[in-house]
A and B are shown apart, each in its own frame.
Chain A
């Protein structure tokens, strides 16, 4: 076998900080064949037939939920969507009660999106079902980090040695954290660039370089992962105005041209065109933003598939009765 067999992910996928480079690579490799399934006339394989998955979205996120739902349906799982509005959560039910209720209905997996950092782990520690973190507060969004890694690897055929700069609101971004851990574990150099008001305290201690000026970041980087500037940050006073943000930190055609070489552009979406990224960059030849969306489904299929499997230590015993 070219890749190590073993307990690939454990029970849950909560973040990339706790995964090894081997585990991350195994997920990316598993995603490769899953890409092709979405190209088939019948975009469905029976691997999770009979599995029940609940998409528990305590925060709105249409695109992440849809991506997970596609992944689940293409693996033939039965899915139930659960969102904060119209659920018992809005009636004051606690997360732990929600967890116990889901468990009592004998579901196999929960995909959770929640506004509180650490909520995915909180849930995972209290139920036996597999838990996939689809974004917890400002902590992690591991499948987004993985799909970004896959997209970068598709383009460069490697991650190690690449220079990747994450730009924008690092402070409030779970995407930034998942990217940072995943990229570093796979050997990339990671930098961040944004107004100091939007960088976490002691971010350098997380092993990243900080660029004060976007021009310096562009000069340095092979890849820019441009984060969305959430508009509510303006009300928080973190930046004075969107116009100023674009002038000082926007990823613009002119700034990229000055670098004089090709830089791969990622954006986790949804974009604020003309704020953190200009349209001609987002739609330009080096943008892989739509490929990120495509890869998102494959990555989520891979994660669900790897989590759904039985205990690998039983694999040897079962092989003799297997079909080969």
Chain B
């Protein structure tokens, strides 16, 4: 029996097609750059970044691709309201750093923009990229800060009570996007 609260918005096949298109757009936007740093935001952004890096490397073997991970927990602006998280994930950036390079921040869902704000702050503590792009699989709207993505997989407007979940095989066992709660109809 299907859970009436969970609605599939993108199947695995759709996500793969979308990611492939996004990989192309990244290369397009990066025209002229010799190398790229794809930085995934902990946790699902990390897996998306890895997938994108693999895809780009496959089609452009001569482009230097490095990946990194960002855990923005310590840069959040809401510690006092949500409380600390006992396990803070690792932040790992490629050796050689990010100074003067093209950095693509990869996340699963863009919502209020606060996570991206925190990620930009954290990146700034590691160096000064030549240019920074924001790449998200889903933009669900509802921004609270003036932040817009450069590369978007899919616009999925979600009602305030709803939650857009991106599923990745490494964590969830399958690939897809579901809307939980609320109603998109």
Contact = CB atoms under 8 A, between A and B. Distances in A.
Q: In the complex they form, do A and B come into direct contact, defined as C-beta atoms under 8 angstroms apart?
A: yes
Interface of A: 1-3, 5, 8, 26-27, 29-30, 32-34, 36-37, 40-42, 44-47, 75, 305-306, 308-312, 314-315, 318-324
Given A310-B79, A324-B111, 18 more contacts: A27-B86, A33-B89, A36-B90, A36-B92, A41-B127, A46-B74, A46-B121, A47-B75, A47-B76, A47-B79, A306-B84, A309-B83, A315-B83, A321-B112, A322-B76, A323-B111, A324-B109, A324-B115
A42 B74 contact: no
27 contacts: A1-B87, A2-B87, A8-B86, A26-B87, A30-B88, A33-B88, A41-B125, A45-B125, A46-B75, A46-B121, A305-B74, A306-B86, A308-B79, A309-B79, A312-B83, A314-B81, A314-B83, A315-B81, A318-B78, A318-B81, A318-B82, A319-B82, A322-B78, A322-B112, A323-B111, A324-B111, A324-B115
Nearest to B114: A323
A63 to B, nearest CB: 25
A323 B88 contact: no
Contacts of A5: 85-86
B156 interface: no
Q: Which 8 A-B pairs have the closest CB atoms?
A: A323-B114, A309-B84, A323-B115, A45-B74, A312-B83, A33-B88, A26-B86, A47-B74
Contacts of B78: 318, 321-323
Contacts of A306: 84, 86
Interface residues of B, number: 37
A27 B157 CA distance: 39
A267 to B, nearest CB: 29
Contacts of B118: 323
Contacts of B85: 5
A314 B111 CA distance: 21
Contacts of B139: none
A24 B104 CA distance: 37
Contact of A322 (B71, B114, B116, B125): B114
A23 to B, nearest CB: 9
Contacts of B75: 45-47
Contacts of B116: 323
B76 to A, nearest CB: 7
Contacts of B97: 41
B91 interface: yes
Interface in B47-104: 71, 73-76, 78-92, 97
Contacts of A26: 86-87
A309 B114 CA distance: 18
B82 A42 contact: no
B71 A40 contact: no
